[in-house]
Structure 1
């Protein structure tokens, strides 16, 4: 199986944290291991240095926001208030993409043999639309690999 750089990063991170299954996913345990302090606020999420502010909403939304903010923690520098809007858009798109892979890691999907969106919802604390999009990403990657392999073998 081919893993993207983001998928590899997430797998290595989880293995370094000794997290192998969805049941072991925990904001508090991950934050503690990374020396990040979590603060819950009304309805906003953001990262400031080693602090991550998460919205006081559903567990699913909090988990998704945590994944998003961790991308900023690992890969982004600077204050978005002073950045060009295109650069802010780039960072936000990267963080959204990262969140899908962090919240529902590919290596765990491979272990679970996920077949539909309800299988994802059974194992991962995410919202339906988030799970559905992640499943599409997962299937598109598998289909893409099948196409590449088939064209190589036949062509």
Structure 2
């Protein structure tokens, strides 16, 4: 049986703790209110900071709503997966953290448990239903289909062994 990844589990547990179980619940206001995180807009790239034990996510004011959502969730990935400041880390470690935050973003913006409920999983449908960029949805569908294919292969292999 194929199990979920660590990041996939973290995102699902976080969403369940917020009682987010429908795509329409996935938005900046609902998530930041539930997590008690402040959002501020500025002209620079997105960033998360901790001040006086409170988290503040800064989002680029010039970005569209879809990009802001994706950037917010990327920053949440740093909050839930990492500690410290990247400025003092080796470049390769920063690259790893960015990859992890992006992976978190894919699983949080388009949760697997919600994809499992869709009759068809296509990039166009995922983009429309989850309000993400089309290119983002293409990558997320690739991730999902890859895992589904691996699940089918493992099931087939287990049936062969059982014969």
Give the alignment's TM-score, normalised by structure 1: 0.94
2:96 to 90, 93, 99: 90
**CA drift at 1:138:** 0.3
Higher RCO (C-alpha 8 Å, min separation 6): 2
**Contact between 2:115 and 2:121, CA under 8 Å: does it hold in 1?**
no
Aligned residue pairs: how many? Answer: 155
- Residue in structure 2 matched with residue 24 of structure 1 by the alignment: 25
Q: Return structure 1 stretches of 4+ with deviation > 3 angstroms.
A: none
Q: Distance in 2 between matches of 1:11 and 1:59?
A: 23
Give the alignment's TM-score, normalised by structure 2: 0.89
1:52 to 48, 57, 71: 57
Helix, strand or coil for the counterpart of 1:2? coil
**Contact between 1:114 and 1:120, CA under 8 Å: does it hold in 2?**
no
- Residue in structure 2 matched with residue 124 of structure 1 by the alignment: 130
**CA drift at 1:43:** 4.1
- Residue in structure 2 matched with residue 11 of structure 1 by the alignment: 12
Q: Distance in 2 between matches of 1:114 and 1:15?
A: 23
Gaps of 5+ in 1: none
1:103 aligns with 2:132: no
Alignment RMSD, CA only?
A: 1.3
